[in-house]
Structure 1
């Protein structure tokens, strides 16, 4: 399996293909704004905050992959968990759609990229790293937070055990 096929597989599993875990499309399917804004306690994030965090990092790395260096660094990692812009149902749907579109853009970009680029060093990165390694880590990051989303849904009882295949 080439690195390109490997990354495409990881992106598909994170976005919309059932595998060892449910993809983002299933994790957020049918969620209302109220459910996306719920948290079990003050020390936890909401699903919307997690989605905002994922969108931030997927978009940041997508820009970098396209050769665009950005100066809008977050003050802290915690500041990337912004949540909803406003409290409307449309705001949640827009955030969910933006995150899905971000992962779709990644799938399209990787389909169009060369194997050579995936093995190339990342320009301006503070340590030696190649694209396929960082993209694999980005997918692992997505998978981690998708698991959190499902766990939050289980706590709020908006996810049923019948939806799990394992």
Structure 2
């Protein structure tokens, strides 16, 4: 596992890293969904992933998992402003770095 945690966000392995497609994405691009198809936008998928990465980080650090989310559907959220999109991207990177540190200490 040592070193493998980097592949989750920064480096390509058997699947592409998450960081690359998020970089430089506009709000409109992040919210885009094809018409007539029931799919999630990149933004709501990123929000969903971030929610569960934060929960995993709390669990690994021995912190209580506190959330107001009632069900999985509530983790798929988005907004329509640049500041919020940049915050999601920055938070995703921050949480991933914290996960790398915690996982690195376990191995």
Q: Is 1:15–1:25's contact at 8 Å kept on the other side of the alignment?
A: yes
Say how many residue pairs are matched.
106
Aligned position for 2:105: 112
CA distance in 1, matches of 2:29, 2:66: 33
Find the residue that maps to 2:32 and give its secondary structure: coil
Answering whether residue 90 of structure 2 is matched by residue 97 of structure 1, we say yes
Q: TM-score, normalising length from structure 2?
A: 0.87
CA drift of 1:53 comes to 0.3
CA distance in 1, matches of 2:7, 2:60: 20
Q: Is 1:15–1:23's contact at 8 Å kept on the other side of the alignment?
A: yes
Aligned position for 1:14: 8
Q: Spell out the pairing of 1:48-59 with structure 2 (5 A cutoff).
A: 48-59=43-54
RMSD (Å), alpha carbons = 1.7
Residue of structure 2 aligned with 1:83, choices 57, 78, 81: 78
CA distance in 2, matches of 1:97, 1:35: 17
Q: Is 1:51–1:83's contact at 8 Å kept on the other side of the alignment?
A: no
Q: TM-score, normalising length from structure 1?
A: 0.58
Residue of structure 1 aligned with 2:65, choices 50, 70, 95: 70
CA drift of 1:56 comes to 0.3
CA drift of 1:73 comes to 5.4
CA distance in 2, matches of 1:35, 1:71: 31
Which of structures 1 and 2 has the bigger CA Rg?
1
Which ranges in structure 1 are unaligned for 5 or more consecutive residues?
Answer: 116-166
